[in-house]
Structure 1
Amino acid sequence: METQFYEAQNFDISRERKHQSSMPARHYHNGYEIFYLVSGDVCYFIEDKAYQVVGGVLLLIDMNEIHKLVNASGESFERITLVFKREFMEDLFPDHNNFDVLSSFSRKGHLLRFSGAEQSAIERLFDKMVAEFNNKPPGYEFYLKTLMFELLIFIYRHQETSPRGATQETGIVNKKIFEVVDYLNRHYDQRHSVNDIAKRFYISPSYFCKTFRDSTGFTFTEYLNNVRIKEARALLVGTGLKVSQIAEKIGFDNMTHFGRVFKEITGLSPLKYRQTYRHIEQLSCGVK
């Protein structure tokens, strides 16, 4: 199987919605890579391991590790890819004998899962970085390094507090769960229950609940709510729809419940979120 080498830039970040990877071949490069899936689900191969990646999951890829993304379902997915060289960050921590923030990349296991609130926090960091990188305002390189260091500290601390063995390799049972994930990503606006899903995919409810959590890191309800709230966030910022219309559009039939779930995940009410982050999203798209 062909493996290609790519020279990494000092720093590069992009956020895109895609149907397939722009790098279809197995490849490696002389930079560190952070891959974050905003929404959708893909399979990611790193060296000899295969990871099921769903929205809200982050992958750390060390220098010269062979990797490849595969989107077997063909459905669209939104991802953030960040690649950087060590020298980009070197001047921020010249003496790191006691603490090397880049050690996160050499730890065993590549996959990190985040709660809904953590996803909101890390995606805000990414959005700021994308906006700085695309628009290049005065001093943008210094601010990018500051944001990058904050991100690396966030990742380091998350690893320190996460239980060991949190990564998961693809298995036969997990492929059934991936079918469920594909279905939820396409039909999040409909009503779903554990029993309905278990019946549709011919799995017992108790077995489904356990296997779904083992495979994705989320309970069924947590995952469905995360998918819905991600869509709500995009609609709040990118459209003029009323909050009640958005709640209905993404599958909530109760405004109070929607508001409570939205605040639990993002830390803000829907209206406050719209007011606060609309300008950040516009900057990320190059709108001034």
Structure 2
Amino acid sequence: MELNFYEASKFDISRERKYNTSMPTRHYHNGYEIFYLVSGDISYFIEDQSYQVVGGALLIINMNEIHKLVNSSKESFERITLLFQEEFLEDMFPYNDSFHVLSSFASGKHFMPLNGQEQSFIEKLFDKMIAEYNKQPPGYEYYLKTLLFELLIFIYRKSSTLPAVDHTGGNPIHKKIFDIVDYLNQNYHETQTIQGISSKFFISPSYFCKTFRENTGFTFTEYLNNVRIKEARRLLTGSTLKIADIAERVGFESMTHFGRIFKDITSLSPLKYRQTYKAELD
């Protein structure tokens, strides 16, 4: 089986919507990688483990770990990839026996599902990094280091809350659940219920709820709301649609419900979010 080595950049970050990965073969590199799936659903292989990743999840990959992304659904997905070498942060590390910010990468805990507020926090960090990296204003490298260190602290703390790694193998997702995830990614704007999904995919509601959470890290409602709010955020900053029209377009039947869920996930009202982030993009 083909295996390639790539020399890692000192620091590199990119955000892209894709159908195919630019690195289709199994590969490894001499840098640390942080992969965040903004939207969509993909398979990811790291060493001898497989992960079925849905939007809102983070993957961390240690130096020289063999990995590969597979997009079996052939639908588009949006991802953020950050790659860096330790030397980029060497002047910021507090070296001591009790704490090393990169130790999470050696824990074997590659997969980190994030709740809505965590996703919003992470995406804001990534957005700042991408803006600094692309525009390179005065002092950008120092700010990049600060932002990256904040992200690594978050990962370190998040990793410590995750269960111990199961070394009996990977975590193959229930195929039917992955089909449901793909369906929700394409049809989030329609009315979706546990009963409706269970009937459509011939699975009992109780087993569906249990298996969905085990395989994705989210409840059905959490996942559906996150998909809808991601699209709402995109429309708020990338269009001139009225907020009520956006709420309806992404599947919310009332403005009140939309506003409450939006604020729960982003900590801002839809209007405040548009004012804040549209101004930054402009």
Q: 2:180: which partner in 1?
A: 180
Q: 1:32: which partner in 2?
A: 32
Higher mean alpha-carbon deviation, 108-117 vs 176-185, is at 108-117
Code of the aligned partner of 1:256: T
Task: Extract structure 1 runs of 4+ deviating beyond 6 A.
Answer: none
Instruction: Tell me, in whole angstroms, the C-alpha distance in 2 between the residues paired with 1:156 and 1:166.
Output: 19
Instruction: Tell me, in whole angstroms, the C-alpha distance in 2 between the residues paired with 1:192 and 1:104.
Output: 37
Q: 1:159: which partner in 2?
A: 159
Q: CA deviation at 1:164?
A: 3.8
Q: 2:258: which partner in 1?
A: 258
- What SS does the corresponding residue of 2:102 show, helix, strand or coil? helix
Q: CA deviation at 1:276?
A: 1.1
Q: Does residue 169 in structure 1 map to residue 167 in structure 2?
A: no
Instruction: Tell me, in whole angstroms, the C-alpha distance in 1 between the residues paired with 2:219 and 2:165.
Output: 18
Q: CA deviation at 1:166?
A: 8.9
Q: CA deviation at 1:190?
A: 0.1
Q: Does the 8 Å contact 1:38/1:56 carry over to 2? A: yes
Q: CA deviation at 1:254?
A: 0.5
Code of the aligned partner of 1:93: F
Instruction: Tell me, in whole angstroms, the C-alpha distance in 1 between the residues paired with 2:19 and 2:225.
Output: 23
Q: Does the 8 Å contact 2:47/2:67 carry over to 1? A: yes
Provide, for residues 59-78 of structure 1, a one-character-per-residue CA deviation record: whole Å limited to 9, x for no partner.
01000000000000000000
Provide, for residues 132-187 of structure 1, a one-character-per-residue CA deviation record: whole Å limited to 9, x for no partner.
0011111100000000000000111112233445999343x611100000000000
Q: 1:118: which partner in 2?
A: 118
Q: Does residue 22 in structure 1 map to residue 22 in structure 2?
A: yes
Code of the aligned partner of 2:243: V
TM-score, normalization by structure 2: 0.96
- What SS does the corresponding residue of 1:60 show, helix, strand or coil? strand
Instruction: Tell me, in whole angstroms, the C-alpha distance in 2 between the residues paired with 1:180 and 1:166.
Output: 25
Instruction: Tell me, in whole angstroms, the C-alpha distance in 1 between the residues paired with 2:221 and 2:279.
Output: 31
- What SS does the corresponding residue of 2:192 show, helix, strand or coil? coil
Instruction: Tell me, in whole angstroms, the C-alpha distance in 2 between the residues paired with 1:230 and 1:219.
Output: 17
Code of the aligned partner of 2:238: G
Q: 1:8: which partner in 2?
A: 8
Q: 2:74: which partner in 1?
A: 74
Instruction: Tell me, in whole angstroms, the C-alpha distance in 2 between the residues paired with 1:78 and 1:53.
Output: 12
Q: Does the 8 Å contact 2:35/2:59 carry over to 1? A: yes
Code of the aligned partner of 1:251: G
Q: 2:140: which partner in 1?
A: 140
Q: 1:130: which partner in 2?
A: 130
Code of the aligned partner of 2:10: N
Q: 1:240: which partner in 2?
A: 240
Code of the aligned partner of 1:169: G
Code of the aligned partner of 1:236: L
Q: Does the 8 Å contact 1:52/1:169 carry over to 2? A: no
Instruction: Tell me, in whole angstroms, the C-alpha distance in 1 between the residues paired with 2:253 and 2:86.
Output: 49
Q: CA deviation at 1:97?
A: 3.5
- What SS does the corresponding residue of 1:112 show, helix, strand or coil? strand
Once the two structures are aligned, what percentage of the paired residues are identical? 66
Instruction: Tell me, in whole angstroms, the C-alpha distance in 2 between the residues paired with 1:236 and 1:12.
Output: 28
Q: CA deviation at 1:278?
A: 1.7
Q: CA deviation at 1:94?
A: 5.5
Q: Does residue 90 in structure 1 map to residue 107 in structure 2?
A: no
Q: Does the 8 Å contact 2:189/2:228 carry over to 1? A: yes
Provide, for residues 91-126 of structure 1, a one-character-per-residue CA deviation record: whole Å limited to 9, x for no partner.
101634431100010002200111101100010000
Instruction: Tell me, in whole angstroms, the C-alpha distance in 2 between the residues paired with 1:208 and 1:26.
Output: 33
Q: Does the 8 Å contact 1:247/1:258 carry over to 2? A: yes
Q: CA deviation at 1:20?
A: 0.9
Instruction: Tell me, in whole angstroms, the C-alpha distance in 2 between the residues paired with 1:126 and 1:26.
Output: 26
Q: Does the 8 Å contact 1:37/1:79 carry over to 2? A: yes
Alpha-carbon RMSD across the aligned residues, in angstroms, is 1.5
